[in-house]
A and B are shown apart, each in its own frame.
Chain A
Amino acid sequence: EDQVTQSPEALRLQEGESSSLNCSYTVSGLRGLFWYRQDPGKGPEFLFTLYSAGEEKEKERLKATLTKKESFLHITAPKPEDSATYLCAVPSNQGAQKLVFGQGTRLTINP
């Protein structure tokens, strides 16, 4: 069964304190991995797609990386506006549009 696990569940950082979020998955024949950001009361907002091991993508203070078993979302010198829940998802083997999501990491950046 396709499964995605994210850690930690919650992370509290001081402004400027860099850290990483983890997303591990079990799915045969990985076709890619998605990262989303979700703010309270809103739908998930697309951040990155990673297609193969070794791939990296960056956007502002965020960098996503992918290995054969997990993905990391590195956040460098975060600001309070980076506070959100970060979700990763993989396409199911039953259909690429059927995304299997992790439970998310709730990130809080204190000023």
Chain B
Amino acid sequence: KAGVTQTPRYLIKTRGQQVTLSCSPISGHRSVSWYQQTPGQGLQFLFEYFSETQRNKGNFPGRFSGRQFSNSRSEMNVSTLELGDSALYLCASSLTGGMDIQYFGAGTRLSVL
């Protein structure tokens, strides 16, 4: 069974640009969550989607947004990139959410220059 797939694995952008990251969950999983990981702040929750609806959101500015498609695949977008957005962005999927185990992808490493 294939795991969570995130693309691309690496990205380099400049300040002010926007970026879109993609996540394909494990087959049959309908909940997708996104996290940002930095050395200083650790893993921080961005948002969770289930059945194309955002169910929960973390404390990030509105420049961070996401969506989920009918096949459960998800994308997150960051507009007007700042240097501080450089991080590893991780996607996790679970069956339906709640206390289901979240399985993580390998992440997308975003560098903002």
Please state if B101 and A49 are interface contacts (CB–CB under 8 Å).
yes
B contact residues vs A (CB 8 Å cutoff): 4, 31, 33, 35, 42-45, 48, 55-56, 58, 90, 92, 94, 97-107
A-B pairs with beta carbons under 8 A, tally: 64
Binding site secondary structure of chain A: strand
Binding site secondary structure of chain B: strand
Please state if A97 and B58 are interface contacts (CB–CB under 8 Å).
no
Residues of B contacting A86 in the complex (Cβ-Cβ under 8 angstroms): none
Q: Is A87 an interface residue (CB 8 A)?
A: yes
Residues of B contacting A41 in the complex (Cβ-Cβ under 8 angstroms): 106
Please state if B106 and A42 are interface contacts (CB–CB under 8 Å).
yes
Set A34, A43, A96: member contacting B106, Cβ < 8 A: A43
For A89, the closest partner residue in chain B by CB is B43
Interface residues of A in 72-106 (CB under 8 A from B): 87, 89, 91-92, 94-104
